[in-house]
Chains A and B, each alone.
Chain A
Amino acid sequence: MALRTSKAETEAVIDMAELGARIAKRKAELGEPDLPRNSGANRTPSKRALLKAIKDAGGEW
């Protein structure tokens, strides 16, 4: 995993842009597979309420 070191941190930092590019390249090599979304069958009442609130606010994820 490509890492760089932040001046403000003592540990390695993953650059999200580099991470995404590397994954995209790997996905192309594998034939563009995608992870399926979860069915949502195991959601807690709190999670279902939060998702409803997001949808009611106009969120389209």
Chain B
Amino acid sequence: MSAYRPEFEAALRLFARVSEAMHQRDLPRPILVGGAAAELYSTSALTTGDFDLCTPYQAELESELRAFGFVRPSGTGALLKGWIHPQLRLGFEVVADAPMDGSIDNAHIRLVQPIGESALFRVISVEDLIADRMGQYSSGTARDRIDQARLLLQLHPDADLEYLERRVRAESGGDYGVADVQG
């Protein structure tokens, strides 16, 4: 029995197929970030149906999304940057060209094979995801994020602590490090 929600698995299969289409065009696969990445690394039911992606090839990705049945929701005007899949009832949105303003080490971007699909997708590393949570905590915009960061590290005891230290320091302006995540 899978640890993930069936709808989450289905969404990532679709994301992998869209990613594969980009790969076949010799374009980089988009990178999954945000709450969906946190769900992947925790199995907790976090995402609310919106999947945040990063790619510098937004126009090309949107062309592929249309080919896979995604549409712009009607009546939302220029406000909406996202795309919705009416049958699967989920949305993809390009939130940036690169994760975390391009500060991550590209060698740490992971490649994942979803359950029941041969196509692959890319996702931010758990170390960068933890650093992102610590950055939000440090900024004061989301003080509860340290709890997410701590639990993610507990769930991944094999995390690269040297890289994590560097990334948490960078995202928190030097205020926090691995020891703060470990609690």
Chain A positions near chain B (C-beta within 8 angstroms) = 1, 6, 9, 11-17, 19-21, 23-24, 26-27, 30, 33-42, 45-47, 49-51, 53-61
Establish whether residues B93 and A46, one from each chain, have CB atoms under 8 Å apart when the complex forms.
Answer: yes
Q: Which of B50, B73, B120 has most chain A Cβ within 10 Å?
A: B50
**Number of residue pairs spanning A and B whose beta carbons lie under 8 angstroms apart:** 138
Q: Is the interface of B mostly helix, strand, loop or mixed?
A: loop
The 8 Å CB contact of A53, one of B2, B73, B120, is B73
Q: Is the pair A9, B120 in contact by a Cβ cutoff of 8 Å? A: yes
Supposing A27-B43, A37-B48 touch, asked if A53 and B91 sit within 8 A by C-beta, the answer is yes
B58-66, B152-160, B174-182: which lies at the interface: B152-160
Q: Is the CB of B80 within 8 A of A49?
A: yes
Q: How far is the CB of B45 from chain A (nearest CB, A)?
A: 8
Contact size range, B? 35 or more
Could you say which residues of chain B place their CB within 8 Å of the CB of A56?
Answer: 73
Docked-complex contact B113 and A13, CB < 8 angstroms: yes
Contacts of B147 in A (CB 8 A): 35-36
Q: Contact residues of B with A, CB < 8 Å?
A: 2-4, 7, 9, 12, 35, 38, 40-50, 73, 76, 79-82, 84, 86, 89-91, 93, 110-115, 120, 141-142, 144, 147-148, 151-152, 154-158
Can you list the 9 inter-chain pairs with the closest CB atoms, starting with the nearest?
A59-B89, A20-B3, A53-B73, A50-B82, A61-B49, A35-B44, A24-B3, A54-B49, A34-B44
Residue pair B90, A59 in contact (C-beta under 8 Å): yes
Contacting pair A36 B113 (CB below 8 A): no
Question: A23 CB to closest chain B CB, in angstroms?
Answer: 5
> Nearest Cβ distance between residue B30 and chain A, in whole angstroms?
16
